[in-house]
Every structure is written in structure tokens, then in C-alpha cells.
Chains A and B, each alone.
Chain A
Amino acid sequence: MAVETTAALARLGDPVELLRAESANDLALLVEDPSIDLVLLDRVNLAGAVDLLAALRAGGPPSVFVVEGDSDQEALDAFRAGAADCVHFGPEYEHVLPVVLLEQVRRWRTERQQRLTERTIARLEELNSAIVAEMPAGLAVVDAGGLIVATNPEFDRLFPPRSLNGSPNPEDIAAELLGETPRGALVPEFLEARIPHQLAVALSRGQADRHTAQAHRVELVRVRGPLGENRAYELRHRGLDEQGLELLLVSDVTESEWLSERLDTLQRDHRDIIDNINSALLVVDLAGRITFANPAAEQILGGQGGDLGGRDIGDWFGHPSEASSPIEECVERGVRSRGAETLLQRVDGHWIPIGVSCSPRLDADGRSQGVVAVFQDLSEIKQLEEQVRQTEKMASIGQLAAGVAHEVNNPMGFIHANLHQMSEYLTDLERYFEASSRLQQAITEGDLEVIRAASADVSGVGREIDLEYVRSDFAKALLESGEGAERIRHIVKDLRDFSRPDMPARTPTDINKAIDSTANIVHSMMKHTVHVEKDYAELPKIDAYPMQLKQVFMNLLVNAQQAIEAQDESSTVVIRVETAVQEEDIVIRISDTGIGIPEADRGRIFEPFFTTKPVGAGTGLGLSTCFSIIERHGGRILVESEPGTGTMFEVRLPLDISKGEDDVDAAL
């Protein structure tokens, strides 16, 4: 490069990065770089540069030629070749070149920037119209007079121009015409040519305050559709400019509105049901903490307005008689239960019986998320059950009443007579004591005559009252009366034992003993007619409700006695009672030699209120009570009977009574 050129470039002020091209190829490669601002051709062979420059011209950086001397011809050639400018290598060269270069670079940069901007704008416009065309919302631009200036396809789909929408009526045509009138129409009427009334009203409201409403206004507008159906639109609009152009965005939200309303309704319905059912509903997490309790649950558990959330269910369960509650079983091991009975401790400390069903809440992968439990307070039901049992028991006592009265009456009879007799003995003995004390007195005084007379008197009284007899019989009468009193005491105790309500919990029960004590009552109350023949096996104790079982045995024994009496009134009744262990059961067989049960009745004897006894003689509940008591113990009761020969009732109780109970409780 010429010394002058270097000097000229140094005058540019800003540092200049110079790239050198030694050949046409070099140049072609270098100008690919978009950051090249200028190509300087310093006294090159013009003839060779023409083709090259022609290739560079299109969109490339400007080229400046330096030509020798004052030759106008050379400059002309340079411009023809495509030079942006030309500088003579002359006396002013060093001063002229920087000015020319700066001007060319400035121009080039301005031009390049402008081109870039134009391209960007074109691309944005393309994007914009694509968005407007494809967006799932209706879009329209409305002017201040309410004229729809522009719409997108979705808007046209939502609100087709009237002329396309069935047969046009004169008003529609008028409106259509108005729609094409640039200014002056009133907004609602004008828009209503295209969009539903309510939307137009909403929009005109928006227009009225458009100057203050800069942000998007969003409104939900409900519209009655052409078929009378309800539609809902979400309407957004905002002013576009000072002239009152307004952008209107309409989405059809009928479907999602419907869904959300439906969801609201469902949730409200569920809420209503959950809040109003009598059953308590509890949702518990895997840690055993309450996450939800409905009002019925809150009432039983003693909470209010959701304050039970987070509480441990262990606060209410865990009666000492239970290893764990069904709810805890479900939380810990996923064990479902239906209608299981358990005990719940209320806030006041009372344990109440509840019937609970619980199941694990499983997620999509089948993993337990916690437990839903539904339960009911069984206190009242239990009380009623107990009342029915008690009533039935009293009824069976009623059947025994005559026997009881007789049994009490006999000892009462002889005790009464003996008391009377003993008071006579006492009178006799007093007479004898008086005579004796007179004799005592006489001996003290020492008058022999008087002593003799008194002594004779003592002997006389002794003979008269039969002293020896009175002495021994007094003791005997006392003893016999004592025995009578003891017998009455026994009868009363038996009765009281039998009529006492059961303990609420199961107790280990010796079945043989339970039958014995019942048989004793029957025997002692009906000993004139009943003899119980026993054949007992050794039995393990089972967890049971002994009073209830005694009632079963009582019913069966009384039935047997009545069946035999009906068969042959004069004979002594023999009832055979046998116990045994068979497989997993304790078996109790009570057989009589009575009239038997006709086959037609055999299927109905366990039905409540079924009775063959005269009105007033039986409640018809005896065997049905037996049935439910045995079922409650997880056992079975069967009957075999031959009319005219006798009947055998067989009761089977599982050795492990707890096995059968849940199923039965579910039926309660």
C-alpha cells in the first residue's frame, strides 16, 4: 500500500481494521463477511476488476477506486465498473480519501440498517396475521360508530354475517347496509346486525368508558342462542386509538362454563349429601390423622367447623377390650371392614358402640393414600336390641311364673305354719319356765312343803306341754323353716341371675355351667314335671355373652317341656341335654320326646312372631331370639323333628367365636 494511502487512513481517526486481498478470489471470500464496510481498490487494473465488481455489487459493501493522476477516463471506467466513488491519486489525495471513505461507510451502514428493519417488519406482519387468523377467539375491530371494520375467521364462524345466515329479512338487509355505512349509526343496534343483543350491550357499555379503560376489560356475557340454548361468551375489549377504534375479543366459553357449573353443582350436591347424611364420614391419612370429618362425624367426635383436622384417631379409639379398632386396622394394614362393631370414646369419656365400614383410598397405582370410614352410633340400636332381648327373657320368665309361684309357695306354706307352731311352743315353754322359777323361789325360801308343791307343778306343766317333744321339735321346726327360706332364696337368686341384663362385653364362658344353671332353674321351677338328663363332654371356655346363651337354653328347655306335656300330660318330662366338641364347634343337643314339629312349620319356627301356641301363651319370639343370639355368636341352630316322636335342637358355637362375628354384625 502506498505511503500516502496509509497516511490517509490514519486520518480517519477511529482505528481501522484492514484486510488485504491479494487476488480476486481473496476478495470474493472476504466480502462474504457482513461486517466489511468498504472495499478500497487502490490503483488496480480496471480491466480485470470489472467482472469482479459486478459480482460484488448486489447487496455488497460499496467500493471506492483510487485512480492515477487526473484521468477522467479512468474515473469514468471506475464508475462504469460499479464504483461507489473514485479518488484521484494526486496532490490532495491524503485529505480527500478519508472524507470519501467516511461518507461511503455512513451511507452503507444506514442502508443496511433500513433493509434489516424492513425484513423484520415484514416477518412480524406475517406472524401477526397468522395469529389473528388461527387464534381460537373471535376478533373484531370496531370503530367509534359501531361499524365492524375487520374480523378474523373465528369471529365470522361465531357470528356469521347475516347475509350468509339463512334467508335475510328486510331489517337484516337494512342493518347490513348500515354496517357498511362508515359513521353515525348507534352502537347496539348497529352491532346487533352481527352479534347477539347482550354482547352488543356489553360492548357499548365498554365503549362508553373507553377513554378511562386502558387495560383489557373482561366480561362474561350470557346469551340465548338461536335454538333457545344458553351460550356464554367471554368478552375482552380495549381501545386501540384516540379515534375510538376498539379491539373486541370474543371466546365461546359455553362448554367450559357448562363444565364448571356442572362441577360446582356436583361439588355442591356431594357436599350437601356428605353434610346431611346421618352417618359419620371420616377421611384419615396414612399417619392416622383426620383430614376430613362431616358434621355427623364432628357431632360424635365432638368437633366443630373442621377443627378435627390433623387430630389422631387414636384419641377416640382403642378400648382396652380391643387389640385395635377396624379404622386403625385399615390404616395400618389396608384391611377393609363392613359394618364392624367397635367402641368409640366420646369427649365426655363415655364409650359408645359404633358400626363402622372402612376402606383404603387407593391412588391410580393402587397404593393406599389413607382410609375412608363411615360409621354410626349404635347406642340406640343396642339399647333397643337389649330391650327386645330383655322383653323376650321376661316373657320366658312369665311362662315359668306359675312354676315359680308354686315353688315359692310350698316353702312359704310350711314356714308360715311352723312360725305359728313355734310361737305356741314358746308360750308352752314360758309356762314351764314360770313354774321352774317358782320352784327356784321355793328352794331359796326353804319351805319344804312349798318346794314339793312347786316341783309337782313343774312336772305337771312339763307333761302337759309335752316338754321333751317341744324341745326336740322346736329345733326341728327351726331347721326345716331355715331350709325352706334357703330354698326361696335360691329360687329368687336363680330368677335374678336369669333376668339380669348381659355384660356389654364377651366373657369367657363355660357352656356346661351355663346350661346347668339354666337347667337348674327349669328343674327347680318345674320339678314336678321336668327331669333333665345330662350327658356333658369336657368343654373349653369360649368368649360369649353367657346371659344370652342361657336365654337360648331356657327357651329350648321350656319348649321341650311344653312339647312333652302336650304329648302326654301325666308322664314326667325327660329332656336330654348333650354337649360335645366336634371339629371347630361346641355342639349342644337338647332333645325331647314331645309332640314334634309338623314338617310344614319346621321352616318357619325361627321366624319372628311365628307361634303355634294359643294367643297370649307365647310371644312367637322365642326361637327367633335364639336364632339371632346364636348368629351373633357366629354359630348355627338346627332342628330335627318327627311329629309324635320328639324334637332335637342342635346349637353349634364356634370355639373361636370371634371368627364369625363380623359377618353377622354387618347384617345388623
Chain B
Amino acid sequence: MSDSCRPRILLVDDEPRVLSALRRGLRREPVEIESAGSGEEALELLGKGHFALVISDQKMPGMSGVELLAKVRRDWPSTARVLLSGWSSEIPEDEVGAAGLFATLPKPWDDTEIRDTIRRAAGLA
């Protein structure tokens, strides 16, 4: 399968080690992975090309995860949105609702669960 056919996934986290671990877990997946260290950087990448899915951390300096995903929903509604957070229940419901999430995943995450979610969100399953 060529790269151009693979669904593109954008990982957003201010913690490079988290990005690195996520990539590691997804390396066998039939997806193309990009990563961003902040919401602003993510929006920049989203403006350059289509992504099937954005997986974002919640707590980051500047823009938070749900803020980013709400913007993604507004500008790129066909891009699926997944929030990765240790305390998603603490985020105000209206903010979560505004982001129109496909799923929320816990932190620490389970590789199998994340792969499964990605497959479903990217329409691979």
C-alpha cells in the first residue's frame, strides 16, 4: 500500500516522549502519522493537507485539546476527533460537546484500544 493511500493521522501533545510512544505503538498500522507539539502547530499542519483523524492531548500550554478539536470540527468537519486525557471527566461538558468527539481515550492509554479506535475512526475497520 502506498503512502498516498494511507489515512493520515495527526497526533498532538506538548510532550515529545508521548508522541514518540504513540508512534511506536502505531508503527505497524496502515496509517501515515504526523505530530504537533501544540494546538497552534496542529492547525498549521491541518491547513496544509487533509487528515482523517486528530488525536490530541487535553492539557497543553496555550490552546487546550478541546479548544483545538472544536476548531477542527468547525474548519475540517470531516476530520475525526479523539481526545487523549487522564481526566476527561473534569473537562466542562459544553466544551467536550463543542468538539464533537469521536472518542475520548484515557492516559495512560492501551495500545490495542488506541489502534482499534484509529481503525474505526479512519474507516479501516
Decide if B61 touches A572 in the complex (CB within 8 Å): yes
Q: With A413-B21, A528-B14 as known contacts, state yes or no: A406 contacts B59, CB within 8 Å.
A: yes
Across the interface, do B59 and A420 meet the contact criterion of CB distance under 8 Å? no
Most buried by A among B22, B107, B108: B108
Residues from chain A with Cβ under 8 Å of B18 in the complex: 410, 413-414
Known: A406-B59, A480-B20. A413 touches B109 (CB 8 A): yes
Cβ contact of B25, chosen from A411, A417, A480, cutoff 8 A: A417
Binary contact track A481-521/B, C-beta < 8 Å → 1, others 0: 00110000000000000000000000000000000000000
CB distance from B18 to the nearest CB of A (A): 5
Most buried by B among A406, A413, A421: A413
Residues of chain A with a CB closer than 8 A to B14's CB: 528
A410 x B107 contact (CB < 8 A): yes
Q: For the complex, is A169 an interface residue (Cβ under 8 Å from B)?
A: no
Q: Say yes or no: B111 contacts A421, CB within 8 Å.
A: yes
Chain A residues whose CB sits within 8 angstroms of the CB of B109 once the complex forms = 413, 416-417
| With contact pairs A413-B109, A416-B108, A528-B61 given, residues A421 and B15 touching in the complex (Cβ less than 8 Å) | no
Beyond A413-B108, A417-B109, whether A483 also contacts B17 by CB under 8 A is yes
Cβ contact within 8 Å between B111 and A417: yes
The 0/1 profile, CB within 8 Å of B marked 1, for residues 515-533 of chain A is 0000000000001110000
Contact of A480 among B21, B60, B62, B108 (CB under 8 A): B21
Taking CB atoms, residues of chain B closer than 8 Å to A414 are: 15, 17-18, 20-21, 108
Contacts of B15 in A (CB 8 A): 410, 414
Q: Mark B17-32, 1 if CB is under 8 A from A, else 0.
A: 1101110110100000
Q: Is B86 an interface residue (CB 8 A)?
A: yes
Select A418's contact among B24, B62, B107, beta carbons within 8 Å: B24
CB neighbours of A469 from chain B (8 A): 27
In the bound complex, CA of A405 to CA of B86 (Å): 9
Return chain A residues, CB-CB under 8 Å to B110: 420
Residue pair B87, A405 in contact (C-beta under 8 Å): yes
- B 1-55 contacts with A by CB, 8 A: 14-15, 17-18, 20-22, 24-25, 27
- Within the assembled complex, what's the spacing in Å between the Cα atoms of A409 and B25? 18
Identity of the chain B residue whose Cβ is nearest the Cβ of A410 in the assembled complex = B15
B59 touches A421 (CB 8 A): no
Q: Contact check, A420 vs B25: say whether CB atoms are below 8 A apart.
A: yes
Q: Does A412 reach chain B (CB closer than 8 Å)?
A: yes
Q: Quick one: closest A residue to B60, CB to CB?
A: A528
User: Is B108 touching A418 in the complex (CB atoms < 8 A)?
Assistant: no
A473 within 8 A of B: yes
| CB proximity of A569 to chain B, nearest CB, Å | 10
Q: What's the Cα separation between A406 and B90 when bound, in Å?
A: 12
Contacts of A406 in B (CB 8 A): 59, 86-87
Within 8 A of A (CB), among B88-125: 107-111
Contact A420 B111, CB 8 Å, known A414-B18, A480-B17: yes
Q: In the complex, what distance in Å separates the CA atom of A412 from the CA atom of B17?
A: 11
Q: Which residues of A, 368-423, contact B by the 8 Å Cβ criterion?
A: 402, 405-406, 409-418, 420-421
Q: Is A110 an interface residue (CB 8 A)?
A: no
CB-CB under 8 A from B63, the residues of chain A are 570
Give chain A residues whose Cβ lies under 8 Å from the Cβ of B107.
Answer: 409-410, 412-413
- Min CB–CB distance B91 → chain A (angstroms): 12
In the complex, how many angstroms separate the beta carbon of A486 from the nearest chain B beta carbon? 11
Q: Give the residue name and chain of the B residue nearest to A411 (CB).
A: B17
Does chain B have a CB within 8 A of A132?
Answer: no
A563 to chain B, nearest CB (A): 18
Residue of B nearest to A406 (CB): B59
How far apart are the CA atoms of A570 and B61 in the complex, in Å?
Answer: 8
Chain A residues close to B by CB (< 8 Å): 402, 405-406, 409-418, 420-421, 469, 473, 476-477, 480, 483-484, 527-529, 570, 572
Other than the given A421-B25, A570-B63, 13 more pairs (CB < 8 A) read A405-B86, A406-B86, A406-B87, A414-B20, A415-B108, A418-B24, A420-B25, A420-B111, A483-B17, A528-B59, A528-B60, A570-B62, A572-B62
